[in-house]
Amino acid sequence: MTKRKGARVNRAGAAPYLFLAPAMVLFTLFLALPIGYTIYLSLRRVQVSGLGLGRGSRREVFAGLDNYAAAVADAELWAGWLRVLGYGAMVLAVMLGLALLFALMLDTAHVRLARFTRIAIFLPYAVPGVAATLLWGFLYLPSLSPFQGVLEAFGGEANLLGAGTVVYSMANVAVWGGVGFNMLVLYTTLRAVPREYYEAARIDGASELQIALRVKIPILIPAIILTTVFSIIATIQVFTEPTALRPITNTISSTWSPLMKVYRDAFVIGDVYAAAATSIVIAAIALVLSFGFLRVVKNHAFGEG
Amino acid sequence: MSIGVLPARTAARHARARGGALRGAVPTGILLLGAIYCLFPVSWVLIAATKTPGELFSTATLDIGSGLWSNIADLLAYRDGVFLLWLLNTFLYAGVGAALSAAVSATAGYALAKYRFPGRNLAFNLLIGGILVPAVVLAVPQYLLLSRAGLADTYWSVLLPQILSPYGIYLARIYTTAAVPNSLLEAARIDGAGHWRIFSRVALPLMVPGLVTIFLFQFVAIWNNFLLPFIMLGDDRAFPLTVGLYTLLAAGANQPSLFNLILTGAMLSIIPLVALFLTMQRYWRTDLSSGAVKS
Amino acid sequence: MRTRRFSAVAATLLTAVLAAGCGGSGSDAPESAPSSAPAAEGPVKLTYWTWVPNMDKIVAVWNNANPDIQVTVSKQAGGDDASAKFLTAAKAGNPPDLVQAEYQHLPSFVAADAVADLSQLVGDAKGEFSEGLWNLVTLGTDAVYGIPQDSGPMMLYYRADLFKKYGIEVPKTWDEYAEAARTVRKKDPKVYLGTFSSKDPGSFAGLAQQAGAQWWSISGESWKVAVNDAATLKVADYWGGLVKEGVIDDMPYFTPEWNKALNDGTLLTWPSAVWGPGVLDANAPKGKGKWAIAPLPQWNAGENVSGFWGGSSTAVAAGSKHKEQAAKFATWLNTDPEALALLVKEGAIYPASTKGQGVLTEAPAYFSGQPDFWQKANEIAGTARGFTFGPNVNVTYNAFKDAFDKAVQNKSSFADAVTAMQDATIADMRKSGFQLAQ
């Protein structure tokens, strides 16, 4: 036994590295280098001379940690974080809860219409983002929304895009769009488990519900954990939902989320240096949060011996 | 197994079948509710695509319009059929990109799941850490890099950056861990197979459902990606659907948006994705390694 | 062992490429192309980024007549994204030869050294355009950074039939407009005379221009920023008061909600620019034949001035290898009578060239009720005055959206919002090291 294991490790040799090579090359080219360039940019700024028009009037100079200081001191950035954390917690709980529920339901022995509901729940993920503003405009704006009648029956001037409700409306867009993806990740993991696993429990007379709670969920824990980590990162990077709704309501600013601030700095205002620094700060916080979370659940993360 | 046990088992099976229909109602019901919730906005897209420009803002949101065929005709006629070109481009980017992505994820996931080697955790953390940096931040540096290589504004500039998928690698890893038993690999090794053989003949067939999921996700992700091709491409005949439809929406300060074309285009672009999903469905049907585990 | 080696390799790779990258990004833009490069092998090929519809039809005419200079059109998305995309391409060294540049983006293009100085190449195009418009492409200097293509003089669009129904006269002053707004609200609480959009800084800038604002000006080597000058504050307080009073709505333009209101007749006016017919036609087909135009209400009775909302020019990229040919095409496109006629007919734009404005005779189908539409429009265009755009217009416009979103939401002081715009603009210029003559 021991000899064979040892032999296995020795014979592995270069094989794992070769298997990993394509991924690592792509990583270096398209992730590591751009990140390096972003870090480089975050240490620079522009210096104008004269009117700033015409040749040679703009120079890039070293700025040390000024951009970072400005990013960290920016009250708007932290306000954005608070908004995003509250919004993110809500989205995460609802979206992952529903994804888990649907995945378990799909994997039940006697479920019907599995194929139809599977594709129906996945479909929102397939709707192109370019239609999002129009889509949600028509469903949320008071003069167009088919829900307006119902809302007004419940009391007064309900506006799904008003200051108090816009967060929930955005969360709904995120949940609607993301539940299918997460459901499929969990479902795929469940499908990898041989059906015989559950036979023993069934023979003992366990109900489907007990099987789900006692057998399936523990199997799913690694997948749930990593889906949570990815979802944490995705909600820290929330950008598409507020950007899609922004043109149709007054309640979302151009810096509502930290990533929107990065986008505004990079693409609207043209200050790539501030954008670079802010995005490094965001990435650092996301790193701390997600790896902190992983450390806490470390032993369950990969389900390997 | 003695004969005495059989009837009990058969009876149990019959009991299950009788109660099955009822027990199936709850999960089916929950799933149907989920389906309705998800389909409602999608059905709006379909309804809106049937409306002529005149009807779009003057009829109730859920009324069906009369202009589906005229919208489709207008869309296909726009700029001499550039919509079809956009559609083909998107298939190219998404199909090739997702296939390559699944392949890269497969080898990387397999290595991370089934081998112990120095640097394994570092490599995994690095690859997964790629998600920490959002596309908004990566787009411009990637563009500058590809410009230096002379590849900007080409099909490569949209394909290459989208092959590496941290989600795909993570999925491949946990799926491989769950679906490929070490005993099988050990058996193949004892039989004298080399690393690549073991991977391609033994592990890969077992990984197929996971790889199908990765392919599907990456396909949809590339299909719907906007920012990267927007920055990379200048020639509008190489645009994918996302960027192409966006030029109809953001038609410039002084020009009207062609809403009906946008909505019709959005509707038409969902159809290939649905078809793809339906084709891929069969890979989720079977459970595969039941036979192998017993031995 | 392996881990450390891997990291070392990665670090070296990174540094090497970064070093190469740094060297590249710091280098100067290429020198001006030498004047006529001898026509070597084959025709000169130019790329043109634009969002004017049907531009390829117009370019086809040029291509047929000029086999040695072939232009390819690449239709882009318009707006702020287009300018960001162009700047990125210019920075990377692969810009298109020609680009459609909105007037308010031109200074930032010049500041990034992304567009070429055409003063040597465009000869007497200056005479074709009004002084106000020509200033928009020279930025008050001796250089010429683009050829004006279209402009957007502002006027009042109103529902002629509903004005009759509610018994309102076309307002000639802003006071009359306010009165009309109150009248309409009294008569029908579901209807508004107009709305204030917190998403369209260009519209607000145009109204400020009408009132005589000068947001940026140059004195020597310094900029003077006065976004919150008296004229702008007057405009802001006027609209703020009306929104607070509840007689003017607060929905942004170009949203599905706004389109519906135009169709339904719950919005009676739209202070907009001369390119309005296309938008109304596409989004409010139910109102066909019911709208008409009039000059904007004035601040003082008897005056006759207007402002600009939007408009763009054709610029040549500083990185283009065929500047002379590109300039030739740009001049033809915007001054040649045949090209102008096509721009009007196929591109549905209102030409900046004074000659071009004469091409427009027959009223647009949407305005069948006003046969002298273009005469009126040309008269109004003559009264429009603009102002100089500064080097960081995007900062100001973005600050407008955020500040006015809040102000409209809370019904708070619009003048404070203008001050927020001023503060943001100044802070950004100070950060980049501009000299300010405040």
User: Which segments in chain A show pLDDT lower than 70?
Assistant: 1-12, 155-157, 298-305
Give me the architecture of the A75-300 domain, per CATH. Orthogonal Bundle (1.10)
pLDDT, position A23:
93
Q: Are residues C126 and C160 in the same domain?
A: no
Instruction: Please indicate whether, in this complex, the C-beta atoms of C391 and A60 are within 8 angstroms of each other.
Output: no
CA B280 from centroid of its chain's CA atoms: 10
* Residue of A51, A133, A159, A246 to mutate for C, most C C-beta atoms under 10 A: A51
Q: What is the ipTM of this complex?
A: 0.85
List the single residue in C with minimal CA-CA distance to B235: C74
Each of the 438 residues of chain C gets a pLDDT tens digit; together they read: 333 443 334 444 444 443 333 333 333 333 344 444 444 568 899 999 999 988 989 999 999 999 999 999 998 888 888 898 999 899 888 899 999 999 999 998 998 889 999 998 887 888 888 888 888 898 878 889 999 999 999 999 999 999 999 999 999 999 999 999 999 999 999 999 999 999 999 999 999 999 999 999 888 888 999 999 999 999 999 999 999 999 999 999 988 889 999 988 999 999 999 989 888 888 888 888 999 999 999 999 989 999 999 899 999 999 999 999 999 999 999 999 999 999 888 888 889 888 888 888 888 888 988 999 999 999 998 888 888 898 899 999 999 999 999 999 999 999 999 999 999 999 999 988 888 887
Q: Do both B130 and B37 map to the same domain? A: no
Q: C254: helix, coil or strand?
A: coil
pLDDT of residue A12: 67
Q: Which residues of B touch C283 (CB under 8 A)?
A: 53, 57, 256-257, 259
Is residue C51 domain-shared with residue C191, that is, in the same domain? no
Verify that C267 and C163 share a domain, yes or no: yes
User: What are φ and ψ of residue C46, in 5° steps?
Assistant: -115, 145
Contact A179 B34 (CB under 8 A): yes
Confidence of residue B22 (pLDDT cuts 50, 70, 90): low
Q: B22 is in which domain, residue-wise?
A: 5-49
Query: Which chain A residues are within 8 Å of B178, Cβ to Cβ?
Result: 189, 192-193, 219, 303
Chain A interface disruption, residue of C14, C135, C266, most A CBs within 10 A = C14
Beta strands C222-225 and C98-102, pairing class:
unpaired
Instruction: List all residues of chain C from 209 to 238 with a beta carbon under 8 Å from chain A.
Output: 218, 221-223
**Share above pLDDT 70 across residues of chain B, in percent, rounded to a whole number:** 87
CA distances from A21 to B40, B130, B146, C6, C274 (A): 44, 16, 21, 12, 59
In terms of domains, do C358 and C403 share one? Answer: no
CA distance linking residue C302 with residue C172, whole number of Å: 9
DSSP symbol at B152 = T
Residue C158 lies in a domain: yes
Mutate to test the interface with A, among B71, B277, B293 (most CBs of A within 10 A): B277
**C146 and C212 together in one domain:** no
Per-residue pLDDT tens for B169-212?
988 888 888 788 889 888 988 988 888 888 988 888 988 888 88
Confidence of residue B7 (pLDDT cuts 50, 70, 90): low
To 5 degrees, how large is the angle CA C238–CA C242–CA C246? 170
pLDDT tens for each residue of A259-282: 999 999 988 888 889 999 998 998
Strands C147-159 and C308-316: antiparallel
| Among A3, A5, A11, A31, the residue to mutate for chain B (most B Cβ within 10 A) | A31
Identity (one letter) of the amino acid at B98?
Answer: A
H-run or E-run covering C293: strand C291-294
Q: What are the DSSP calls for B202-246, one per residue?
A: IIHHHHHHHHHHHHHHHHHHHHT--HHHHHH--STTS--HHHHHH
Q: How far apart are CA C279 and CA C256, in angstroms?
A: 13
Domain that holds residue C133: 44-150+310-368
Q: Can you give the residue ranges of every domain in chain A?
A: 75-300
Nearest to C97 by CA among C283, C317, C267, C419: C317
Tens-digit pLDDT profile for residues A184-229: 888 877 877 777 777 777 788 777 777 778 788 888 887 888 788 8
When CB atoms are compared, the residue of A60, A138, A268 closest to C26 is A60
Q: Write down the pLDDT at residue B291.
A: 29
Same domain, C214 and C295: yes
Contact C433 A40 (CB under 8 A): no
Residues C277 and C233 in one domain: yes
pLDDT at position C181, please? 95
Q: Which of A236, C364, A230, C357 is nearest to B171 (CA)?
A: A230
CB contact under 8 A, C254 and B257: yes
C274 or B134: which leads in pLDDT: C274
**Rounded-to-integer distance, Cα A148 and Cα A142, Å:** 6
Q: How many interface pairs between B and C have CB atoms less than 8 angstroms apart?
A: 127
Q: Is residue B223 part of a domain?
A: yes
pLDDT at B171: 83
Tell whether B63 is covered by a domain: no
Distance CA B167, CA A276 (A): 24
Q: Residue A129: its chain B contacts at CB < 8 A?
A: 224, 226, 242
Angular region, C430: left φ>0, alpha ψ -120 to 50, beta rest: alpha
**Do residues C335 and C402 both lie within one domain?**
no
Cβ separation C81–B250 shorter than 8 A: yes
B254 touching chain C per CB within 8 A: yes
- C257 with C329, same domain? no
- Measuring CA to CA, which residue among C174, C247, C258, C185 is closest to residue C210? C174
Q: Distance of CA A17 to CAs A12, A56, B199, Å?
A: 9, 48, 14
Q: Which two tokens stand for residue C29?
A: 């833009």
- Nearest partner of C389 among C250, C201, C181, judged by Cα: C201
Widest Cα–Cα separation across chain A: 85
Is the Cβ pair B254, C310 closer than 8 Å?
A: yes
Residue B55 lies in a domain: no
Q: Is residue C29 part of a domain?
A: no
Chains in contact with C, where contact means 3 or more Cβ–Cβ distances below 8 Å, are A, B
Q: Answer yes or no: do C119 and C240 share one domain.
A: no
Residues 105-134 (C) with a CB less than 8 A from some CB of B: none
Does the beta carbon of C70 lie under 8 angstroms from any beta carbon of chain B?
A: no
* CB contact (8 A) between residue C110 and residue A53: yes
Q: How many domains does chain B have?
A: 2
Listed by number, the residues of chain B in 63-102 with a beta carbon closer than 8 Å to a beta carbon of chain A are none
Model pLDDT, residue C29: 37
From chain A, the residues in CB contact with C112 under 8 A are: 58, 270
Which secondary structure element, helix H or strand E, spans residue C282, and what is its range?
helix C276-283
Residue B54 included in any domain: no
Residues C348 and C401 in one domain: no
In a domain, B64, yes or no: no
Asked if B252 and C52 come within 8 Å (Cβ–Cβ), the reply is: yes
Domain-embedded: residue C391:
yes
The torsion defined by the Cα of B266, B268, B272 and B278, in degrees rounded to 10, comes to 90
- CATH number of the domain residue C289 falls in: 3.40.190.10
- Reported confidence tier of residue B100, pLDDT bands at 50, 70, 90: very high
Whether C325 is covered by a domain: the verdict is yes
Provide, as residue numbers in chain A, all residues whose Cβ is less than 8 Å from the Cβ of C261: 143
B194 and B270, same structural domain? yes
Write the DSSP string, C326-359: HHHHHHHHHH-HHHHHHHHHHH---BSSHHHHTT
C75: nearest CB among B56, B148, B236: B236
Residues B179 and B111 in one domain: yes
- How many Å apart are CA B8 and CA A1, to the nearest integer? 42
Q: Is the pLDDT of residue B30 over 50?
A: yes
> How far away is chain A from the Cα of B213, in angstroms, using its nearest Cα?
7
Task: Identify whether residues C411 and C268 lie together within a single domain.
Answer: yes
* Chain B residue at shortest CA distance from A95: B34
* Residue B222 belongs to some domain of the structure: yes
Give partners of A (≥3 CB pairs < 8 A).
Answer: B, C
DSSP string covering B188-201, please? HHHTT--HHHIIII
Mutate to test the interface with C, among B63, B254, B260, B262 (most CBs of C within 10 A): B254
> How many residues does this entry show for chain C?
438
The interface residues of chain B toward chain A in range 195-254, judged by CB-CB distance below 8 A, are: 195, 199, 209-210, 213, 216-217, 220, 223-224, 226, 241-242, 245-246, 249
What is the distance between the alpha carbons of residues C87 and B234, in angstroms, rounded to a whole number? 12
In this predicted structure, what is the pLDDT of residue B8?
55
